[in-house]
Chain A
Amino acid sequence: DQQVKQNSPSLSVQEGRISILNCDYTNSMFDYFLWYKKYPAEGPTFLISISSIKDKNEDGRFTVFLNKSAKHLSLHIVPSQPGDSAVYFCAALTGANNLFFGTGTRLTVIP
């Protein structure tokens, strides 16, 4: 049972434009959400997170939006850079400590 879903396996964006990666979840008990970036043969690297009491969190070029009523979050990257090309994972947490991950979206930023 996939509680965190990333329905787009891949996304291509021109350099300088906005990248929008989407994530849906089914468990209303999730209260903290994180985005990780992963390069091949490396572990996931933490990017940005958001608590369920907020609807937006911004860090430089990265902004995460949370819509609790829709059980949906998105990661915006602007402007996109070629170095952003990687697989992006959405993850969610309840009061327990294990992260539930989506299946990832491969972002390709075209120079």
Chain B
Amino acid sequence: DTGVSQDPRHKITKRGQNVTFRCDPISEHNRLYWYRQTLGQGPEFLTYFQNEAQLEKSRLLSDRFSAERPKGSFSTLEIQRTEQGDSAMYLCASGYLSETQYFGPGTRLLVL
């Protein structure tokens, strides 16, 4: 399978803990995106990388959130001092030359 992969698929953590998610994009894709989806809503944009450069960040991405894509391949999204409001599905997508973004299966986070 050469689609976008995300790890872990599920994460349960206690409030105040740090969590890190990983995304592996489709291999030839130079663009990588992170979105967050809560119940009953569509995905909301968090941040975007072109190669290793983080080019855009949403206002949703508070200072507790940090994303990296160190070698322009996989990316990590870290949430520090998690809060119950961080509970959501975190989606990664990748793209290449066209506007189409291809999504991974997501990481479902539950903060207790």
Contacts and interface: CB of A to CB of B under 8 A. Distances in A.
Contacts of B4: 43
B104 A43 contact: yes
Nearest to A36: B103
Contact of A97 (B40, B48, B102, B105): B48
Interface in A83-111: 89, 91, 93, 96-104
A99 B106 contact: no
A86 B38 CA distance: 17
Contact of A96 (B6, B44, B56): B56
A19 to B, nearest CB: 19
A25 to B, nearest CB: 12
18 contacts: A4-B42, A36-B103, A41-B105, A42-B105, A43-B103, A45-B103, A46-B102, A49-B100, A89-B43, A97-B31, A97-B33, A97-B48, A97-B55, A99-B35, A100-B45, A101-B42, A103-B41, A103-B42
